[in-house]
Chains A and B, each alone.
Chain A
Amino acid sequence: MDEQALILDAQNGDLDAFNTLILHYQDSVFNTALRILGDDDLAADATQDAFISAFKSINSFRGGSFKAWLMRTVTNACYDELRRQKRRPTTPLEPDTDDGEEMDSPRWLADPSMTPDQKAEADELEHAIQHCLNNLPVEFKTVVVMADLQGMDYTEVAVAARVPLGTIKSRLARARLRLRECLQGFEELLPSVFRLEEESTA
């Protein structure tokens, strides 16, 4: 994929070229939104909004990392969504079990590649991490998601978050420490993961 050529075409109004870029980045953008917002549907909406906004303002892209530029757009869409939620708080609807209790997460049922135990464990891990991410301030969450989940370097994160490099370093360090403290509460729940980590650091 010739990214620069596609960007140029998109800047000239070629929607097909931009759609090719979307196909390439949609998983990354969706996952960023998902980890910032912690909800599939909201993340999907934010992703769609981000791509629409990105196409409309593609002429403001002046080179550099396109991924960082896209991430800035999606984080803006997430901030908008979070502001909307603050104004109109809603209660998420989880499907109920037969006993009438809320099902923790129905998503693992759709994943055919793991055994039920593995699915449950992975789901619990994901839930624990997402829970800890949700407890972070949104500025910390954005930085840690881009650096550790998306594997972006500090410069790209600084461009995407529009803050100086020093602020990125500071936020990332504090976010990691807070996450570690939060995840210690799930140590019993996730012993294998922590054991592996202890072995690797020993």
Chain B
Amino acid sequence: MKQRDLELLSSYLDGQLSPSDTSRLESRLLIEPELRSVLSDLRSARSMLRQLPMRKAPRNFRLTPKMVGKNPPLPRVYPAFRLTSVLATVMLFLTMGLNLVRPTLATASPGFGMGGGGAPDTFAAEAAPTEAPAAALEAPAATEAPAEESSIASAPMATETISGQEDSARIVDTPVAKEGETQNAIGGGVEQEPPQAPASDTPLVPAVWQWSLAGIALLSGLVMLFMRQISVNYWRNRK
């Protein structure tokens, strides 16, 4: 049996042949027993298939929103609350971290974060012995000239001059100081700061800020939860 004849017979069975092809095949069927036999086989197979019972679906295949990944529509302000909650939480942890880290930094490096008071003084005291002679020589000239001008100059200038004089005097005082005092300054730099020590106990970020941030984060979270619940309920009732 040719493939072409097989296709013709199958299509003839389904009424899919053109009128001309149909009449041609029918005339061949009258004279070709093999064609009739195959046609009978095809008809038989088709008939058997059509006898198969159509089963009822074993369950309902209706889709739920969850199955198709559909979420209830949330209010437009919902993302704003989400952002607020996230930012407040992040900032809360950041401030907590800062407050935790600050005393550690203070003990590890006294000059760091102490308003810059400790390190320059110590540095000045250490540098003093070497630079002292030169500074001492220059100091008188430096102090006299501005002092003369200050009587003619305006008030702000005078103020600057005075402060300049004080600075110069400090530099001049240092080499004048006794060697023992300089050593005290080197060795006792840290010991001379007891008034600043209590500052390390006070947190960098006040507790009231942290409580506020925690409150904002919690409140935003609760509002989000409330909004979501209302949306889900509304969505369910609508269905």
Contacts and interface: CB of A to CB of B under 8 A. Distances in A.
A18 B63 contact: yes
A22 B68 CA distance: 14
B66 to A, nearest CB: 11
B45 A176 contact: yes
A56 B6 CA distance: 40
A175 to B, nearest CB: 8
B6 A154 contact: no
Contacts of B40: 197, 201
Contacts of A174: 3, 6
A194 B44 CA distance: 8
A44 B63 contact: no
B16 A31 contact: no
A154 B10 contact: no
Q: How large is the interface on B (under 10, 10 to 19, 20 to 34, 35 or more residues)?
A: 35 or more
Nearest to B5: A173
Contacts of A176: 10, 41-42, 45-46
A197 B63 contact: no
A197 B43 contact: yes
B14 interface: yes
B152 interface: no
B57 to A, nearest CB: 4
B62 A19 contact: yes
B44 A180 contact: yes
B47 interface: yes
A198 to B, nearest CB: 8
Interface residues of A, number: 49
A200 B14 CA distance: 16
Contacts of B51: 125, 129, 193
Interface stretch (A45-53, A59-67, A90-98): A45-53
B57 A47 contact: yes
A129 B53 contact: no
Given A197-B43, A201-B44, A169 B50 contact: no
B6 A30 contact: no
Contacts of A72: none
Contacts of A180: 41-42, 44-45
Nearest to B46: A148
B43 A170 contact: no
A72 B66 CA distance: 24
8 contacts: A15-B70, A22-B61, A40-B58, A47-B61, A129-B51, A172-B10, A174-B3, A179-B45
Interface of B: 3, 6-7, 9-11, 14, 16, 38, 40-63, 65, 67-68, 70, 239
